Structure 1
Amino acid sequence: MLLSTRTSARGFATTCRALAGSTGPVDSRAVVFAEHGDPTRVLKSHRYRLAKLDKGQVRLRFELGAINPADINVIQGVYPSKPQVREDIGAEPLSIMGNEGVATVEGFEEDGTVEGRLKIGDRVVMGAPQLGTWQSHANLPHASLIPLPSDAELSLRQAATLAINPPTAWRMLSDFIPLNPEHSDAATKGKKKQWVIQNGANSAVGQAVIQLAREWGVGTINLVRDRPSVNELKSYLHSLGADHVLTYDEFLSRENNTRAKVKEWIGRDGEMRLALNCVGGKETAEMAKLMSMDGKLVTYGGMAKTALALPPSLFIFRKLTSTGFWLSNWTQTHPQERQTMMRSLAELVAQGKLKEPETEVVELAGSDAEVAEKMSGVMKRIEEGRGKKILLHWRDE
């Protein structure tokens, strides 16, 4: 059996087996839950026998499974998209967690199509929601996978964080106000410089927004929560291409006279018709007040868990539109466009124009009790907002 080792740009090594034609049963491990609840309590580690492949299915070895904030809501049972309840992997019905990650193709069962799309050793990301990326192996239909372009040399960490946050940023910068040159029409070219204001700017989506906006010549005003290391955070966001970074307190301060500063930053030759909101609350209402005529306020999250109240005058006199965005809805109706977008994003990452968020790899190994304890600690850190974006890797035993 041939054994090959690949190493990511940050030094994380993974071992993948070249198993051409391997379609039989295999042992797998997964992070699962039997019932919704507290993420620090309900997650379990589960071992099971993965069945022989059916026609059109692909055998995957997951290299990294990403943990996103929405995964917490999935475990709690308050997210609209939920993983399948599996009755074929254990004595009780279980759901395998994980919505984002990167996997290596280890085998497939030919059906006349899959063999033309994939080959052994290809790296793939998930093209459908809630496929269960927090497991070591999986049998998935080839139509639910997006092969990464072989000419884009991505590290495992880059690939594992490519499928959700960068596409969300891309679509929000493309679909509401024509900011993306690839999607602009002739009527918008040569007009005023466009600006975007966003909260949650240090989130993975926010960082992608900053970098794509820089690439497309769009200015950004970015709001973040205050913290002891806020100056370091501001410097980091500026290094990604942010034009201006303010804490929420600075943004809301009357003494700071933010409205006058924003007008000065944008100038007469610019306009700000797009605001991106993942927080809610008073800060978002103040963002909307700074927007130009015919502005679009796009909400894709509500981390503050407070209602969003907007003055009627913004709708009546400024023709504001307030709408929402969820990537899962968009992908259901744009499968081919998603493939094209993912290739463009992969090229930007490979060129160093789009950096992945800072990540930490957590290796899972040992007994089921040990893995469950480790996952409990990981969930607690995430709920407290501590640390980097977590990527899970099942260590070979």
Structure 2
Amino acid sequence: MLRSQPQKQLRRCFSSSAASLAGHTGSVESRAVVFSEHGDPTRVLRAHRYRLPKLDKGQVRLRFELGSISAYTPGNVIQGVYPSKPAVRDDIGPEPVSIMGNEGVATVEGFEEDGNVEQKLKVGDRVVMGAPQLGTWQSHANMPFTSLIPLPASHPLSLRQAATLAINPPTAWRMLSDFVPLNPEDPNALTKQGGKKQWVIQNGANSAVGVAVIQLAKAWGVGTINLVRSRPSIDELKSHLESLGADHVLTYDEFLSRENNTRSKIKEWIGKDGEMRLALNCVGGKETAEMCKLLSLDGKLVTYGGMAKTALALPPSLFIFRKLTSTGFWLSNWVQTHPKERQTMMQSLAALVSSGKLKEPETEVVELKGTDEEVTRQLSEVMKKMEEGRGKKTLLHWKDE
């Protein structure tokens, strides 16, 4: 009898330890940004409270630190025209709703062991999303561990850096690597290009993907020619992009100007020892066709957006005589078939960010707080500001009540 009591105490000790290692797994309230119908983002988004149930096996309890709003994806999602859509949930309220958010960073608060999750994650780990439209504009969530990417502890990142890591930098990395092999991790990259210095031309160069392209190209020894929309603060923008590593920055008007003889200048910048076979397009319009005319034989045009919402018209001569290839890229398609490569790429990107070689885009954090009605008004103002093109990339944070 004297010997059995310590054993009971020991079992309770281990039981308590296991529970603490698993963290919070019970029911908890979450606050989320949702919509129940397609329409104007400034009108249909609203705040919603719902009760998260106790975790199932293999699920992880997340506390979202920041949810990221990209430049134009939210509007397309809410209007129902974006290819990947958030799930319609009929289990979190009186009517079916979808929770917004494709990108962000969360902290692991708990998990329900299933033999696998406890080998991959621990309480306190930070994670980013490994699948699209999981709903990052909320305070808490239950998610399967297989849909999460742990951030490496060996390369510590700030919350802002982590919240903007999962979509735009990988998109830039893949476009610089998969169509014309510019990545120095490919030992045969320069040999494939005949030993010439490689150049890239892109529009939308001040977008989150564009600034990632500039910095990755700089790190890999690739030159960049960058096109942006004119604005009152254009000199400030040009200086900022050049500080990130841009070789040349032109407005669209400067690029298209015949008086400036811009095409000849660009050819001089590239020189006889250089070559430009890659053009990146997220805008569309006539500027894109002019970009393609500067590409060398076997050039590649990669389209990953269409912010101008105009048709992309390319002259047949580029395909017939210059052997131009025009294709598209969407990260969501790529990750479905490259899960292992994605993990490796994310590790490399985290290392670049941690070392200061890859800076996150300029961001502002909007704290969501108050009643659901007050938060809904906040959201309307945020979306209106984004639609008007004002401000920096926006990150949402739910303020504790």
After TM superposition, the score normalised by the length of structure 1 is 0.94
Structure 1 residues not aligned, in runs of 5+: 1-17
2:247 maps to what in 1? 243
* Whole-angstrom distance in 2 between the partners of 1:176 and 1:297: 9
**What is the match of residue 117 of structure 2?**
114
Query: For residues 210-238 of structure 1, what are the alpha-carbon distances to aligned partners after superposition, in whole Å with 9 as ceiling and x for unaligned?
Result: 00000000000000000000000000000
Equivalents in 1 of 2:360, 2:21: separation in Å? 30
User: Corresponding residue for 2:325?
Assistant: 321
Contact 2:32-2:138 within 8 A present in 1 as well? yes
Is residue 66–residue 159 contact of structure 2 (8 Å, CA) maintained in 1? yes
Equivalent residue for 2:150?
147
SS at match of 2:345: helix
* Deviant stretches of 4+, over 3 Å: none
Residues in 2 aligned to 1:184 and 1:218: alpha-carbon distance in whole angstroms: 15
Match of 1:82, SS state, is coil
Which consecutive unaligned segments of at least 5 residues does structure 2 have? 1-19
Instruction: Verify: 1:75 aligned to 2:44, yes or no.
Output: no
User: In the alignment, which residue of structure 1 is the partner of 2:104?
Assistant: 101
- Counterpart-to-counterpart distance in 2, 1:365 and 1:284: 43
CA RMSD between the two structures = 1.0
- Retained in 2: the 8 A contact 1:19–1:106? no
Aligned match for 2:395, one of 384, 391, 396: 391
Separation in 2, partners of 1:45, 1:228: 36
Q: 2:33 aligns with which of 23, 28, 31?
A: 31
Q: Is the 8 A contact 2:22 2:112 kept in 1?
A: no
- Deviation digits for residues 176-197 of structure 1, max 9, x if unmatched? 0000011352642761100000
Q: Distance in 2 between matches of 1:295 and 1:118?
A: 43
1:1-397 → structure 2 map (5 Å cutoff): 20-68=22-70, 69-185=72-188, 187-188=191-192, 191-397=195-401
Q: Distance in 2 between matches of 1:323 and 1:119?
A: 41
Distance change >3 Å, CA 184–CA 71, structure 1 → 2: farther
Q: TM-score, normalised by structure 2?
A: 0.94
Contact 1:178 1:184 in 2 (8 A): no
Partner deviation per Cα, 1:327-363 (whole Å, 9 max, x = no partner): 0000000011000000000000000000000000000
Aligned length: 380
Provide the rounded CA distance (Å) in 1 between the counterparts of 2:194 and 2:244.
Answer: 25
Aligned partner of 1:346: which letter? A
Q: Percent identity?
A: 82
* Contact 1:100-1:164 within 8 A present in 2 as well: yes
Of 18-27 and 371-380, deviating more is 18-27
Task: Return the offset for 1:20.
Answer: 4.2
Give the C-alpha shift of residue 76 in structure 1: 1.2
How far did 1:253 drift?
0.3
Output the CA distance in 1 between the equivalents of 2:324 and 2:97: 45
- 1:81-118 deviations in Å (ceiling 9; x for gaps): 00000011000001000000000000000011100000
Shift of 1:70: 0.9
Contact residue 21 and residue 122 of structure 2 kept, 8 A: no
Q: 1:257 to 1:189 in 2, by over 3 A?
A: closer
Whole-Å separation in 1 of the counterparts to 2:240 and 2:24: 45
Which residue pairs with 2:7 in the alignment?
Answer: none
Counterpart CA distance in 2 for 1:373 and 1:43 is 9
The one-letter amino acid of 2:229's match is: R
